[in-house]
Structure 1
Amino acid sequence: MVQDISLDVRSNNGDPLQVGAWRYQGDGSGPKVHLQAGVHADEIAGMLVLHLLMQRLQVAQAQGRLRSQVTVVPQANPLGIGQFRQGRLLGRFHDATGHNFNRGFDQSAAQQHPSTNVQEWQKALVQLAADADVMLDLHTDDEALPYLYVHRSFAAQGRELAAAMKMDVAIIWDDGGDGSFEETIIAPWLRKGLSDRNMAATLELRGQGDVGDQLAEQDAQGLYTWLCRCGAIDEALSPEDWPVQTLEMGQMETILAPTPGVLIFEKQLGDPVEEGQRFARILRRPGDPSSEVVLFAEQAGRMVTRYRDRLIGQGMVVAKFTGTRVSRHWHGGLLDPN
C-alpha cells in the first residue's frame, strides 16, 4: 500500500492548502529516503520526474523488492505554484514577503510557533524529512547543463549519483549559511556524526524549459538506478559510465551583467572557453553601436548555465562557468546569493 501523508498548510489568506506527499514502505532494511521537487515552484522538471518515479516505486513495492521507506513530495510548494503574473509563474520568491522559498528553513524549523505561513510550510516540510537517511532535492536553473550540489561529506556518493543521472558537473560545497533545505536536513547529521547511509544533494535538472517525457523518463530511470545502488531497492542495476567533472564551489565562475540591455550569447551551453575569450555581448541601446558591451570569460572552462531571457538587468547572472582555479570573485558562501 502507498500511504498518503499529505501536509496541511495555509495560503496567504489563511485558507487550507495541501502539500501532496506519499510514502512507500519497504521491508526496512534499506535507508530511509526523502525525495522532493518544486520547492522553487517555477522549477517544474523534477515534478514530472518524481511523478514517473512513483510508478516505478509502486511496482517495486508490489513485487517485494522495496527495501526502504521512500517518501516522495513531487510538488512541494503550493504557496508558490499559484503566483502567476502576466502569464509567467514566479515561484522563486514568496510574493507577500519576498522570502526566497529555499532560504531560512533552519530558522523556520527552530521556531516553536512560526509567525508566517511560509515558515509554517517550511517547518512542516523539514519535519517530514527529518528522519530520512537520504534526501534529494530536485531543482532547475534558468538554462543549464544538468548538474548537482553536494556537501563535501558526500562527495563520493554525489559523483555516483551524478553519473547515474548523466549529469555533467558535481559542485562540492562546505559552508552555506543560507538555511537551504539541503543544509537544514544535513546539519543534525553533521553534528551527531554521519552514518554510512547518509547522503543528500540538490539536483539541478537542466533549465526551466526542459520539461518533457524523454528527459523525465531518463531522469526517473537515473534516480531509480541510483536507489538500487544505495540499497533502497533490491534490483541489480548499475549506471552507465558517464564523465562527471567534480569541482569546488569556489572554482565556479559567475559572470554578472555590467549593464542592462539586449543579451546576445555567442557560446552555447557546454561550449568550452579560454581565458579572455568573448562569450556574449549586451546591447544597451539598440540603434547605438557604441553602447555594445562585450563579455569575456574569466578563466578556461565551459558554460554550465546561462540567463534564460534575452533582455537582462544590470547585476543579473549572465552565465556560470566551470574553472580550474578559485574565482577572484569568490568570497565563500553561496553560488546564488538570492
Structure 2
Amino acid sequence: MSRQTEEIPLMSPAPGTSRSLIVHRYGAPGTGPKAYIHAALHADEWPSVLTVQKLIPMLDEASERGEILGEIVVLPYANPTGLAQRMGGHVTGRYDYDGSGNFNRNWPDLSQAAAEKLGGSLPEDKTEAVRTVRAALREAAAELPRRTRNQEWRAILLGLSIDADFVLDLHCDSEATLHTYTNVRHKDMVEVLGAELGSPVNLLEVEAGGGAFDEANAKPWWTIGDYLEGGADLPAACFGVTVELRGQADVLEEYAAADAEALYRFLQRQKVIAGDPGPVPTLSNPVSMLDAVDLVRVPRSGIVGYHRDVGDRVAKGEIVATLYDPAAVDPVGARLDLFAGTDGIMFSRFSDKLVEPGDNIAKIAGTESLSYRQAGALLED
C-alpha cells in the first residue's frame, strides 16, 4: 500500500492567512503495532525536520515493498504556528504568543475521560483490555475542546497519536549530544532506542511533571487504573519518548541520515516494519534518572565562557564554565567560576552566552539522585 498524505486545515489566525498540518500515513490501522512520529513541536528545533525528510523516502520504499507490518503516522512538522513566529530574523517557536505558554507543556491528561467511557472495569483478557482502552482514549481525544487555535491544534495531534504503541517526539536542545527522555517503565525500550541512535545519555523519570506531549500519550496507561477495577494490571502499552537530536545548529546531512536509519531499524525491531535490523548495538552508557541531572545555574547576569564541551565527562567540583561581568570595574576579580554538582556527562549547554540570573547554562547526567531535584518538577520551561 502506498503512502497516503492528508492536509489538515487549522483555524486561521487572521483574515488572509491559513495554516495546516501535513500527515503521512503508512500501512493500515489494526494490522500491527502503530508508530507516531513528528518533528519540531518546538518550532525552533530543526534537526528533526531534516531527519524526517530522510526517513520518509525510506518508509516510501518499505511501503512499496509491502514491508509495513502495522501503521505509521508521520508529521514532517508538528507546529505551523511556531514556524511562523519570526522576530528580527529569528524563529522563536517555543512559546505560543496567545499566552498559553510552552508548546510542549500542559497537554491534556485523558485518563479520567477515557476511564468514564469504560463502565468502571476492564476485560480480564489483557489484549482485549488494551484494545478497549485505546478505543476509549480515541473517543476522549475526539471530544477535547476546540474553541481556540491552541486547543484545536492539541486535539488534532492527540487524536493522531493517542492510540499508538510508539510515540516518538523529535526535538533538540540548545547545544547538546543526542539524548532521550522517557518514563522509568520503559527502561528496556529506551535502552534499545538509545543504542540504535548511539545516544550517550538516556534519562528516565518517575514523574517528570509539566505535561509534555510524550507523557500525555504514555501516562494514561498507568494512571487509568486509578479509576477502573482491574486497571492496576494494565500494561504500559504506549512507549512515549522525547528524542533530543543534539543541538539547534546540528541540522546536518550526515546526522539526519544516520538518525533516520536508526529510527527505521528501531521500527523494524518493534515489528512495525519487516526486515532484519541486525544485532542490537551496545548502549554506550547506563541510563540515568532525571533527578540525577545536575543543572548548572548562574546567580547573576554576564557572559559565559565554557571550559568543557558537550559530551565531556566531568567530575563533581570541576569548573565547567566561568561567568564574566562586563560592567565590573575589576573584571578579573568579578569572575565567577561555575562548578559541576555531580560526576557525569555534560550533555547540554546553553548556546546564548549572554545570560541573566537563574539561567541554566549546562546539564550534567549523573548516577546519583540530587536532593534539590524534585519529582513532578523536573522539566524546565
**TM bracket (short chain):** over 0.9
CA contact (8 A) 1:33 1:133 kept: yes
Aligned counterpart, 2:320: 279
**Cα distance in 2 between the residues matched to 1:241 and 1:324:** 19
Aligned counterpart, 1:169: 201
CA contact (8 A) 1:31 1:197 kept: no
Q: CA deviation at 1:94?
A: 1.0
Q: Residue by residue, what CA displacement relative to the aligned partner does 1:110-158 show, whole Å, maximum 9, x if unpaired?
A: 9743342112111111011122111110000000110100111111001
Aligned counterpart, 2:298: 257
**Cα distance in 2 between the residues matched to 1:126 and 1:60:** 26
- In terms of Rg, which structure is larger? 2
Distance 1:31 1:43, change over 3 A: same
Identify unmatched segments of 5+ residues in structure 1. Answer: none
Q: CA deviation at 1:270?
A: 1.4
Q: Residue by residue, what CA displacement relative to the aligned partner does 1:310-333 show, whole Å, maximum 9, x if unpaired?
A: 111211111000123111321222
Aligned counterpart, 2:184: 152
CA contact (8 A) 1:25 1:61 kept: yes
Aligned counterpart, 2:254: 214
Amino acid at match of 1:299: T
Moved more, 99-108 or 153-162: 99-108
Q: CA deviation at 1:36?
A: 0.7
Q: Residue by residue, what CA displacement relative to the aligned partner does 1:225-274 show, whole Å, maximum 9, x if unpaired?
A: 11110101110113433413301111011111111111100011111221
Q: Residue by residue, what CA displacement relative to the aligned partner does 1:76-103 show, whole Å, maximum 9, x if unpaired?
A: 0000001111121101101232511011
CA contact (8 A) 1:105 1:119 kept: no
**Cα distance in 1 between the residues matched to 2:299 and 2:142:** 39
Aligned counterpart, 2:124: none
**Cα distance in 2 between the residues matched to 1:213 and 1:79:** 26
Identify unmatched segments of 5+ residues in structure 2. Answer: 111-140, 225-230
**Cα distance in 1 between the residues matched to 2:236 and 2:78:** 27
- Give the structure-2-normalised TM-score: 0.84
Q: Residue by residue, what CA displacement relative to the aligned partner does 1:163-217 show, whole Å, maximum 9, x if unpaired?
A: 0011011100111332211111113322255558632211000001100110000
**Cα distance in 1 between the residues matched to 2:160 and 2:28:** 18
**Cα distance in 2 between the residues matched to 1:293 and 1:11:** 49
Aligned counterpart, 2:72: 70
2:167 counterpart (135, 146, 155) = 135
**Cα distance in 2 between the residues matched to 1:323 and 1:196:** 26
Aligned counterpart, 2:114: none
1:113 aligns with 2:145: yes
**Cα distance in 1 between the residues matched to 2:372 and 2:174:** 21
Matched position secondary structure for 1:218: helix
Aligned counterpart, 1:201: 241
Distance 1:196 1:233, change over 3 A: farther
CA contact (8 A) 2:218 2:236 kept: no
**Cα distance in 1 between the residues matched to 2:240 and 2:336:** 41
Please list, as runs of the form range in 1=range in 2, the aligned pairs for 1:1-338 lying within 5 A after superposition.
1-13=2-14, 15-25=17-27, 29-97=31-99, 99-106=101-108, 112-190=144-222, 191=224, 194-195=234-235, 198-238=238-278, 239-285=280-326, 288-338=331-381
Distance 1:66 1:116, change over 3 A: same
Q: CA deviation at 1:29?
A: 4.2
Moved more, 73-82 or 317-326: 317-326
CA contact (8 A) 2:144 2:155 kept: no
CA contact (8 A) 2:31 2:70 kept: yes
CA contact (8 A) 1:159 1:244 kept: no
Matched position secondary structure for 1:19: strand
Moved more, 320-329 or 84-93: 320-329
Distance 1:78 1:200, change over 3 A: same
Q: Residue by residue, what CA displacement relative to the aligned partner does 1:42-94 show, whole Å, maximum 9, x if unpaired?
A: 01111111111111111011111110110001100000001111121101101
- Identity rate, percent: 29
CA contact (8 A) 1:26 1:64 kept: no
What is the root-mean-square deviation of aligned Cα atoms in Å?
2.0
CA contact (8 A) 1:162 1:168 kept: yes
